[in-house]
Amino acid sequence: MEIVEMRISNYEDVFKLWTSTHGMGLRNLDDSKVGIDKFLRRNPTTNFIAEEDGKIVGSILCGHDGRRGYIYHTAVDMRYRGKGIGKNLVNSVINALKREGINKAALVVFTNNEVGNGFWRSMGWEKREDLNYYNLSIIKEN
C-alpha cells in the first residue's frame, strides 16, 4: 500500500470511493471535478490517496487557511478497512500540515456516522461540545 498526494487525474476513482462510502455528505458543486480541482490547486500538498495494486482504496482531503487545517472526505474502501490505511492517511495529512506550519486541525462528522465518529475517537481526536456549527449554502444548487 502506498500513500501519495492526490491529483485531479485521480478524481473519477476517488469519487467512486466517496459515493460508495456511507456518511460522506457530498455536495453537487464543491465535490464536482471542477470543485475538487479548485480545492487541490489551493491545497496541493495536503490531500492524499492510498493505492494498493494500482487501485485507489482510500482518500483524504485537507486544506488550511494559514491558521487551521480542515479535513474533509476521509474514506477507506470497506474491503480494505482494519489495515491501518485510514491512520496512514491521517498521519500523512498531519505531517503535511506540520511542514506548512499549521498547529491545529479540525473536522466535521455527521452525528449518525457511527463508523466515522468511532474512527476519529480512536485516532485521539477530541469531540467539541462547547460550540455550534453554522452553515450557509451561498449557491442553492450546492
Structural domain contains residue 40: yes
Cut 0.85: pTM above it: yes
Average pLDDT of the residues in 35-48: 98
Residue span of the structural domain in which 53 resides: 2-122
Report residue 100: phi and psi, to 5°. Answer: -95, 5
When divided into structural domains, the chain yields a total of 1
Asked if 21 contacts 28 with a C-beta cutoff of 8 angstroms, the reply is no
Task: Tell me the CATH number at 60.
Answer: 3.40.630.30
Q: Does the residue 132 lie in any domain?
A: no
Instruction: Report the distance separating Cα 27 and Cα 61, nearest Å.
Output: 14
136 part of a folded domain: no
Q: Are the beta carbons of 96 and 63 closer than 8 angstroms? A: no
Does 26 fall in a domain? yes
Task: State the pLDDT confidence band at 134, using cuts at 50, 70 and 90.
Answer: very high
Q: For the residues 78-90, what does the mean pLDDT come to?
A: 97
Domain membership of residue 15 (yes or no) is yes
